Amino acid sequence: MENKRLWGGRFDRKPAQAAEAFSNSLDVDRRLAEYDVVGSIAHAKMLEHAGLLNGTESKKIVVGLSEIKTELEKGTFVFEPSDEDIHTAVERRLYEKIGDSAGKLHTGRSRNDQIVLDERLYVRDLINRLDIKIKTLQKALLVWAKEYPDLVMPAFTHLQHSQPILFSHWVLAYLEMFQRDQDRLSDALVRVNVAPLGAGAGAGSSLPLKPEYTAKLLGFPKIFTNSLDAVSDRDFLVEVLADLALVSVHLSRICEEMVLWSSAEFNYLDISAEYCTGSSALPQKKNPDIPELIRGKTGLVFGGLISLLTTLKGLPLSYNRDLQEDKAPFFSAADTVLDSLEILASVILKTKVNIGAVEKSAETGYLDAFDLAEFLVKKNVPFREAHRIVGAVVKYAAAQKKKLSELSLAQLKEFSKLFDRKVADVLSAKNSVRNRKTAGSTNPALVALQLQKWAKLLKE
């Protein structure tokens, strides 16, 4: 393939070596190789359908591309130093296989619409992979919740004890977060699933191309409606990367709690030693490295989003070489989130809850104070007055170093004559969770129904 550059005819000399090295993107975009071949096969079939290739030419190109796809799958494809990008590499190899007929493949196509097709095919598969990984993590969380269905723990506001909740209710909160992530990615797929082939360099083509035919072959439900937008649109990458950033937020939040709760001060969790390391200096240490690393890698995903937005913010229409820089931050973020989802699921399945420490913690901090206030509200006491009364009760109990449930009825009546024997039914952490009634609350019966719902959803 002598001097078969995709664009060499206009130039009377080769690029400077430094310029060629600086602009080479193969190390980044080679992961798009199989998508590039799949897109090219569909393009060749469309060219035949449009009468721009005869059957013999089309078959020759498709066979050659299919062989290249096999080489890529087996890892035997050899990239050459002269390959500028993945498109160049595939076309160069096709020339080696079938000769000058390979030159007809680029009819009606530009690298501008070709690369965005590759990216859309990649992102479509990525969303499917993310869906599987998120579901796997959700299943691990569900196993965790079902292992400790009745365990009562403190909920926290401002990192202070607030009210009693079920541990399973806490786990279910993360199932909800990750479900929203799935829903967002599923919604983004609608905007990913737009076929750009036919837009060419940005103004379309005078050839009788059949973009709807290519779209159908590749499983796209719709095609572009503006050729300039088609080749320059990277909104779908930004949208999915923003979704990945939110997945990372949720991963980081649960990992933060796991790190905190595995500390000696909490002692709620025992993370398996398989996912911890020791200290080079302190022999007693068991460090929760995997949750810490997942938490730490969140910044990389955020950085990718900011990088991509910055690349796009000043670009005039339509295609600009700046867009070559869209892939590295996106791929890095995608890899990070996929890896984090996978390993966290494994960590959770081997993390044990220290039931004694959690139950003991649930009985400290006057978590049933709110229930005591609502006891008075049910007797027609304005909430602000009930709040004041119970605040005084808590202050008294703290001075006596007693729990609210350890105060006698006579002692409680010193603060309000409305307290009666039934007050015992609202005090204690276990009574508190049983008395929750509102939808979505930590009431054990409602939580059990949620566990059943999630088991059915995740099985489906």
Closest CA to 145 of 429, 348, 343: 348
Catalytic residue (one of 43, 106, 158, 428): 158
Q: End-to-end CA distance of the chain, in Å?
A: 52
Q: Show the tokens assigned to 284.
A: 């007693």
Active site residue 158: yes
Catalytic residue (one of 82, 205, 279, 416): 279
Q: How many residues does the chain have?
A: 460
Active site residue 279: yes
Active site amino acids:
158, 279
